[in-house]
Amino acid sequence: MSGEGPPRDANYAPPAGSAVASPEAARVAVHFDRTLLLAVPATLFMLLLFIYPFLYGLALSFTPPKGDWLANYRTFFSSDHLWPTIWTTLRLALPATLINVGIALPIAYKMRVKSRYQRWITTILVVPITLGTVLIAEGMLTYFGPKGWLAQFLQWAHLYDGSIRLTHNYWGVLISLVISGFPFAFLLILSYITGIDPVLARAASTLGANPLAQFRHIYLPLLAPGLAMCFCLAFVQAFSVFPSAVLLGAPAGPTRVISIAAYEAAFEQYDYSLASAIAMIMGFVQLLIVAAVLGLRNFFYRGPVTGGKG
Amino acid sequence: MNGNRDQRSWLERVWTGLLWGLMTLFVVNIALMIASVTTNSFARRWLGTWLPEGWTTTWYTEAWREFQLGDVLWVTVEVVFAVVFLALLVGVPAAYTLARRDFLGKRLLMLLFLLPLMVPPITYGIPMATVLYQVHLAGTIWGVILANLIPAAPFVILVMTPFIEQIDANLESAARVFGASTGRMFVHVLVPLLAPGILAASLLVLVRTIALFELTFLTAGSDSQTLVVALYYAVFAAGVRAPQSVDAMAMVYMMVTLVWLLIALRFVNPTQLVSRVKEHPQGAI
């Protein structure tokens, strides 16, 4: 270990409780305060542009133009075209996240060993991050469309003769979520895995652990915090799916996700109050999933996070 | 014993083959997807055949004229560089404090910086857009810049904190012993040491900001659209326009992001995003 963390802080930041009355300590204490000031602009900025709008939206969602304070939430849960959007979104976001993390984990595990190809392969796998959801949607409409290369190839090779419907439905959105989400999950898991000291696995193998056992008993427990974090971040991306659900899905029906409902309320009906309520429900569902994942992590793994980077 | 080992190596080979197969499938399909957009953007007429009937570059000039790509590109450049600059300006000092100091409420502060990355952009984007409309910032380029800063600044903090933690604090102590103030220490000691990290963070923010759709979409007016939002509107209203000209625009978008990503990858090893890998074993482990 390179010894980052508390010991270095102790080098010249005195413990807050030590009230030594020497001028030396006083000087250090004054300077200590000034360093803390460096975080003030960022904090103020976040309070002003993130926390304040959030609270404002929360308040707005409880003050509908007509009806009592819960009217928006009642509208949401009683309307047939609003509350099912939660399931529509989860039905897309959960499988997409599971696929992304599930495929990224073994590939990242394979790529952890430093080799000549490692950097090239990671670069190639990461490039789709730049494509952005809109470009992926446009590309998929051309490539996966009923007259696209994929359909032509499958028919030419007689692998599948029926008509291919991979756009303007559930599958189109799911595929686009995998394309845009996988590189991110891969990158994150790879950087967590490479942070685990390979000496641990080597020690296990001298004791006779096969690769599978090494993975299960050494890498997986150390990776659990990072994996949970990665799952959460990947889920956020998939959960807020918007452009691809509109462009690649069927936004009127099977892929009418919750963000479409929120957008329509805000910018088509100009009902900011209802839109804020939908946004809050969206954030709440998201936080529930994140809390569940983090809880699951604690269930699987209790112990010090040494060697990992969670 | 021997048979067992044979079986295991056989299984391992199958597993490795499966992984390589998956990776190839993913990469090949994406490459073909990009290639089909490229082909279409140069196609004269392309309906259900392997290759188009003829080639042309008129779609590019048409897209340039029709979508006012010149203006859109200029707005994108302005927004992206303003976001990178401001995110570094507020993010790096905050990352320094988080990396070097322990103080009351540090965990709360870290949560504050992590939250924007953990909440879907639409969730805070809609209330934020409402607030920005009230103070008449939405629809202007400043509104777009402020909106994009919300995920960008925490991202800089997240990337820079481990970078700063790696720098030996003794160097700063030494500078202080010789009487440097915090500001001078920052300029003469930290910034040169941090340069690779700052470069990495700014390139990553740049790439992310170009691709960030939701927040720009919610706050942009007609003359403050970035490339990705203009592309969305182009695809959304595709019935009116030739698909080739939309694809030409998509190509321009991809070229812009790809150039920056390749520059970024020259300076940043993707595996070192969260923290540095120990490449040299240090002393006794």
Check whether residue B101 and residue B214 sit in a common domain.
yes
Q: Is A223 on the interface with B (CB under 8 A)?
A: no
| pLDDT mean over A110-132 | 78
Contact state of A131 with B127 under an 8 Å Cβ cutoff:
no
Same domain, B148 and B175: yes
**Residue A290 is nearest to which of B118, B157, B277, comparing CB atoms?**
B118
- Residue B103 — φ and ψ, nearest 5°? -150, 170
Residues B48 and B129 in one domain: no
Q: Residue A92: its pLDDT value, please?
A: 92
* CATH for A92: 1.10.3720.10
The verdict on residue A93 lying in a domain is yes
CA distance A218 to A281: 39
Domain holding B131, by residue range, is 58-272
Identify whether B284 is part of a domain: no
Q: What is the span of the domain harbouring residue A201?
A: 72-300
Are B46 and B65 within one domain? no
Q: Is there a domain that residue B139 lies in?
A: yes
Indicate if B93 and B44 belong to the same structural domain.
no
Q: Which CATH number covers residue B152? A: 1.10.3720.10
pLDDT higher than threshold 70 for residue A264: yes
Q: Do A138 and B250 touch (CB under 8 A)?
A: yes
List pLDDT tens digits, range A225-255.
888 888 988 998 888 888 888 888 888 778 8
Are residues B155 and B42 both part of a single domain? no
Whether B3 and B78 share a structural domain: no
Q: Name chain A contacts of B126, Cβ cutoff 8 Å.
A: 57, 262-263, 266, 272, 275-276, 278-279
pLDDT of A100 reads 94
Place of tokens 């600059």: B85
* Planar angle of CA B83, B71, B217, nearest 5 degrees: 55
CA distance A167 to chain B (A): 13
CB contact under 8 A, B117 and A236: yes
Which residues of chain A make contact with B47, given a CB cutoff of 8 A?
Answer: 147
Verify whether the Cβ–Cβ distance A45 to B128 is below 8 Å. no
Kindly state whether A200 is in contact with chain B, defined as any CB-CB distance less than 8 angstroms: no
Chosen from A35, A60, A114, A131 to mutate, greatest number of chain B CBs within 10 A: A131
Of residues A7 and B192, more confidence is placed in B192
Residue A13 lies in a domain: no
**Does B135 lie in the same domain as B44?**
no
Residue A76: count of CB within 10 angstroms of its CB: 21
A293 touches chain B (CB under 8 A): no
Q: How many domains does the structure of chain A reveal?
A: 1
Residue B172, domain member (yes or no): yes
Which residues, at least 6 apart from A167, have a Cβ–Cβ distance to it below 8 Å? A140, A141, A144, A145, A146, A248
Residues of chain B with pLDDT under 70: 1-6, 8, 238-240, 268-285
Question: Of A193-207, A288-302, B145-159, which range is least confident?
Answer: A288-302
Give domain status of residue B21, yes or no.
Answer: yes
Same domain, B19 and B77: no
Structural domain count of chain B: 2
| Under 8 Å between Cβ of A181 and A237 | yes
The complex scores an ipTM of 0.80
The Cα of B64 is separated from the nearest Cα of chain A by a number of Å equal to: 17
- State the pLDDT at residue B3: 57
Please tell me the predicted confidence (pLDDT) of residue B222.
81
> Average pLDDT for residues A86-105, to the nearest whole number?
93
Question: Which pLDDT score, from 0 to 100, does residue B5 have?
Answer: 62
Q: How many angstroms separate the CA atoms of B243 and B234, rounded?
A: 9
- Largest interatomic CA distance in chain A: 86
pLDDT at A132 over 60: yes
Backbone angles phi, psi at A173, to 5 degrees: -65, -40
* Token duo for residue B245: 């000209």
B285 part of a folded domain? no
Q: Is residue B278 part of a domain?
A: no
pLDDT of residue A13: 45
